[in-house]
Amino acid sequence: MITKEDFKEVCETSIKMIEDAGLLLTEVDKSKMTAADFGLNHIKKEGVQILTMFQTERIAGKILVLLPNQTEPEHWHPTVGDDAGKEEVIRAISGNLRFYIPGKDTFKEGFIVDGKEECYTMRNEIVMKPGDQLVLPAGTKHWFQAGEEGAVMYSFSTTVTDLNDQFTDPDIVRETIIEGITTNAY
Amino acid sequence: MITKEDFKEVCETSIKMIEDAGLLLTEVDKSKMTAADFGLNHIKKEGVQILTMFQTERIAGKILVLLPNQTEPEHWHPTVGDDAGKEEVIRAISGNLRFYIPGKDTFKEGFIVDGKEECYTMRNEIVMKPGDQLVLPAGTKHWFQAGEEGAVMYSFSTTVTDLNDQFTDPDIVRETIIEGITTNAY
């Protein structure tokens, strides 16, 4: 659960970070800013802020914001039946950003959330500077983390129901609860 | 055909317009800037400049630039066999931009390229301010035009071979020839 005050604070901070990065947001865009704590109850440690620019039945474009040292939990978008699974392209916009994907252990600049070694199993570290891009084919297990400055990035993808997402951390629940309001934010 | 000098000029101008709009381009991005004259041999009147940020087998993200008063010819992305056709989402970034799509004739701010009334049949005018978005489902006939300032926009889409594109103007050839080099730019 997240308090209304914390929800408002992380959303407002994220809007400011996007605008400071030079992106223009309309009032409609700003009204769509939301946050996900994945039911872990400490959003500033594990969570993400999301602004969906557009979502059709086929494609989606979002701006994702990580606060300083915030970590998005490890997850993947599986192939389910006729659904090929969500393919995602990340484009870093500002700040310092680290992605962790399958491959050789090159873990160096990041950190594992206290006591959660088993929930963050991918250790191939991709340090992304502004303008860098990363393609995540459907099914790719991944997590990501910001450094001291936080990070703003685009996420472009095919559209699938995020309810299919799979997480490594068994404590995760998909819905974010904001003091009694349930939202399926991400 | 377009001369090397004109090609270089429209590409360099377009890169500057994107950067002036506050978007960060890497050197890799800049090296991808290209232009299409659709074989009409007057790119500054009818043409478009394109920077492909990414293109996978499923999705694509491009930055499109129109020079002042430049017009992209009317075209559509048809459904062909198993291919549902390209769906496209436009997000205006800077400048002044007009889209023309099916619907009631509301033609007001734009102009038709001299002597080409029959090549620009859509007259439902959508004036797009920075931050505005427009969804073009597969098969939607459309053309677009910049005003005095030119225009920069994102084009996010599903991926299809652009060779399927259909144009209203019978004089259009898909390939752009730059003094002896053939490029399938768009």
Q: Is the pLDDT confidence value at B186 over 60?
A: no
Q: What percent of chain A has pLDDT over 70?
A: 94
Instruction: Name the domain count of chain A.
Output: 1
Min distance A39 CA to chain B CA atoms (Å): 31
**CA-to-CA distance for B113 and B130, rounded, in angstroms?**
24
Give the number of other Cβ atoms within 10 Å of residue B106's Cβ.
12
* Inter-chain CB proximity B89 and A131 less than 8 Å: no
Q: Residue B119 phi/psi, 5° resolution?
A: -95, -5
Question: B45 and B67 in contact (C-beta within 8 Å)?
Answer: no
Name B16's Cβ contacts closer than 8 Å, sequence gap at least 6. Answer: none
How many Cα atoms within 13 Å fall on the side-chain side of residue A179?
6
Compute the average pLDDT of residues B110-120: 96
Question: A92 and A149 in contact (C-beta within 8 Å)?
Answer: no
At B182, the pLDDT band (50, 70, 90 cuts) reads low
Q: Which of B59, B87, B136, B153 to mutate to test the interface with A (most CBs of A within 10 A)?
A: B59
State the DSSP H helix or E strand holding residue B8, giving kind and residue range, or none if neither: helix B4-20
**Domain containing B124 — which CATH number?**
2.60.120.10
pLDDT at B21: 96
Q: Which of A179, A48, A24, A110 is nearest to B92 (CA)?
A: A24
pLDDT at A60: 95
Place of tokens 């931009």: B97
Min distance B90 CA to chain A CA atoms (Å): 10
Q: Sort out which chain A residues have CB atoms less than 8 A from B62's CB and list them.
A: none
Which of the two residues, B177 and B129, has the higher pLDDT score?
B129
Q: Which of A79, A90, A186 is nearest to A145 (CA)?
A: A90
* Inter-chain CB proximity B157 and A56 less than 8 Å: no
At A7, the pLDDT band (50, 70, 90 cuts) reads very high
Q: Which of A92, A81, A150, A155 is nearest to B61 (CA)?
A: A155
**CA-to-CA distance for A173 and A85, rounded, in angstroms?**
20
Q: What percent of chain B has pLDDT over 90?
A: 78
- In terms of DSSP H, where are the helices of B21-123? 27-31
Which of the two residues, B177 and B114, has the higher pLDDT score?
B114
Q: Is the pLDDT confidence value at B56 over 60?
A: yes
Q: Note the maximum CA span of chain B.
A: 43
Q: What tens digit of pLDDT does each residue of A49-93 get? A: 999 999 999 999 999 999 999 999 999 988 877 778 889 999 999
Full domain range(s) for residue B121: 4-183
* Inter-chain CB proximity A87 and B22 less than 8 Å: no
Min distance B48 CA to chain A CA atoms (Å): 23
Helix, coil or strand: residue A60: strand
Q: Sort out which chain B residues have CB atoms less than 8 A from A26's CB and list them.
A: 131-132
Compute the average pLDDT of residues A138-157: 96
Q: Is the pLDDT confidence value at A173 over 90?
A: no
Residue of B nearest to A157 (CA): B59
Residue of B nearest to A87 (CA): B58
At B20, the pLDDT band (50, 70, 90 cuts) reads very high
Helices (H) and strands (E) in chain B, counts: 2, 11
* Inter-chain CB proximity B156 and A61 less than 8 Å: yes
**CA-to-CA distance for B146 and B97, rounded, in angstroms?**
5
The DSSP string of A17-71 is HHHHTT----HHHHHT-EEE-TTSS-TTTB-EEEEEEEE-SSEEEEEEEE-TT-E
Exposed/middle/buried for A33, CB within 10 Å: 0-12, 13-18, 19+?
A: buried
Which of the two residues, A184 and A157, has the higher pLDDT score?
A157
Compute the average pLDDT of residues A5-22: 97
pLDDT at A85: 86
* Inter-chain CB proximity B59 and A23 less than 8 Å: no
Place of tokens 């048809």: B78
* Residue of A54, A56, A133 with shortest CB distance to B54: A133
Q: Sort out which chain A residues have CB atoms less than 8 A from B56's CB and list them.
A: 87, 89, 135
Name A166's Cβ contacts closer than 8 Å, sequence gap at least 6. Answer: A75, A76, A77, A78
**CA-to-CA distance for A97 and A88, rounded, in angstroms?**
16
Q: Which of B89, B132, B158, B160 to mutate to test the interface with A (most CBs of A within 10 A)?
A: B89
Kindly list the residues of chain A whose beta carbon comes within 8 Å of any beta carbon in chain B.
Answer: 22-26, 28-29, 53-54, 56, 58-59, 61, 84, 87, 89, 91, 93, 130-133, 135, 154, 156-158
pLDDT at B44: 97
**CA-to-CA distance for B87 and B156, rounded, in angstroms?**
8
At A161, the pLDDT band (50, 70, 90 cuts) reads low
* Residue of B53, B87, B154 with shortest CB distance to A58: B87
Compute the average pLDDT of residues B133-141: 95
Q: What tens digit of pLDDT does each residue of B72-82 get? A: 999 998 888 77
Q: Sort out which chain A residues have CB atoms less than 8 A from B89's CB and list them.
A: 54, 56, 59, 61
At B163, the pLDDT band (50, 70, 90 cuts) reads low
Give ipTM to 2 decimals: 0.89
pLDDT at A84: 80
Q: Which of A131, A125, A56, A119 is nearest to A90 (CA)?
A: A131
Compute the average pLDDT of residues B14-29: 97
Q: Sort out which chain A residues have CB atoms less than 8 A from B93's CB and list them.
A: 24
**CA-to-CA distance for B20 and B39, rounded, in angstroms?**
29
Compute the average pLDDT of residues B60-75: 97
**CA-to-CA distance for B40 and B173, rounded, in angstroms?**
8
Helix, coil or strand: residue B70: coil
Termini Cα distance of chain B: 15
Beta bridge partners of A146: A97
Q: What pTM does this model have?
A: 0.92
At B144, the pLDDT band (50, 70, 90 cuts) reads very high
